[in-house]
């Protein structure tokens, strides 16, 4: 199993408060991602990082920010939590080098255990 | 428009029987990759199997195989000899052809819930 941890694993917070979720990896993978999972939607990409201090938006980035100051850590911040951000959040990692130059499209994402966030 | 369709929200299978989970996809790219993930009730996402669009043979990984029909744009997951531990959500995902961006997004389907009956 890929060495990916997420903290906290569960959190209950109130509307309007800031929340930070942490993803930590021990695999030295270049790419890191934050997804949210909601019933009927599968997983949707929030933000991703392709290197230290290199981040970009995914399809549902509004209300979220990220930071990556070290290879192993990727932080997701909800600036002012809303009830619509109640969800399960997954971190994932991948590295294009593992798939090889000839088959970059085979790059596989490996997921952390998830964080359940409830915004009241 | 949905890029990944999984038409079976829930399925049941008898233990030791084989089951097929459907996945159809939509892409205009010639080069793409297809993935299947399993999510048991404990919540983690587990990578199962990968199929590349140019792979000539269907992918297999133990009891998992992928029935890849390129012309129909389908990538169905076949689980042979179902076990109770196979009860889980199963997600089909696709990465489209390489583009001149830093990341090629992986798109996930809505999932199929599989229940294995003893």
Average pLDDT over chain A, rounded to an integer = 90
Q: Out of A56, A106, A113, whose CB is closest to B103?
A: A56
Average pLDDT over residues A51-64: 91
- Given an 8 Å threshold on Cβ–Cβ distance, is A113 in contact with B110? no
Cβ(B27)–Cβ(B94) below 8 Å:
yes
* Tokens describing residue B96: 């489209």
Q: What is the pLDDT of residues B19-69, one digit of tens each?
A: 999 999 998 888 888 999 999 999 999 999 999 888 889 999 999 999 999
Torsion sign (Cα): A2, A66, A58, A50: negative
Confidence bin at A1 (pLDDT 50/70/90): low
Q: Out of B46, B103, B110, whose CB is closest to A41?
A: B110
A54 contacts in chain B (CB < 8 Å) = 102
- Flag whether pLDDT at A80 surpasses 90: yes
- Flag whether pLDDT at A105 surpasses 80: no
DSSP per-residue string spanning A57-109: E-TT-TTEEEEEEETTEEEEEESS--GGG-EEEEEEEE-HHHH-TT-GGG---
Q: Out of A59, A106, A114, whose CB is closest to B43?
A: A114
Cα atoms in the Cβ-side hemisphere of radius 13 Å centred on A31:
22
Cβ(B55)–Cβ(B1) below 8 Å:
no
B109 contacts in chain A (CB < 8 Å) = 42
β-bridge partners, A111: A92
> What is the model's pLDDT at position B55?
86
């Amino acid at each position: 199993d890929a060495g990916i941890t997420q903290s906290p694993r569960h959190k209950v917070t109130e509307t309007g408060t800031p929340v930070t979720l942490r993803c930590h990896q021990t695999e030295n993978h270049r790419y890191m991602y934050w997804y949210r999972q909601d019933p009927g939607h599968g997983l949707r990409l929030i933000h991703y990082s392709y290197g230290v201090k290199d981040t970009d938006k995914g399809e549902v980035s509004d209300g979220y920010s990220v930071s990556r100051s070290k290879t192993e850590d990727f932080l997701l911040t909800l600036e002012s939590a809303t009830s619509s951000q109640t969800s399960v959040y997954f971190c994932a990692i991948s590295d294009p080098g593992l798939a090889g130059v000839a088959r970059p499209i085979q790059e596989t994402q490996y997921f952390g255990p998830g964080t359940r966030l409830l915004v009241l | 428009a949905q890029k990944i369709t999984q038409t079976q929200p829930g399925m049941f299978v008898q233990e030791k029987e084989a089951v097929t989970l459907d996945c159809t996809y939509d892409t205009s790219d010639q080069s793409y990759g297809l993935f299947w993930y399993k999510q048991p009730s404990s919540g983690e996402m587990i990578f199962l199997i990968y199929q590349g669009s140019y792979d000539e043979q269907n992918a297999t990984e133990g009891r998992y195989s992928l029935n890849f029909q390129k012309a129909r744009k389908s990538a169905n997951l076949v689980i042979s000899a179902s076990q109770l531990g196979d009860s889980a959500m199963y997600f089909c995902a696709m990465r489209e052809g390489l583009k001149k961006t830093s990341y090629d997004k992986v798109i996930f389907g809505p999932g199929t819930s599989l229940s294995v009956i003893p």
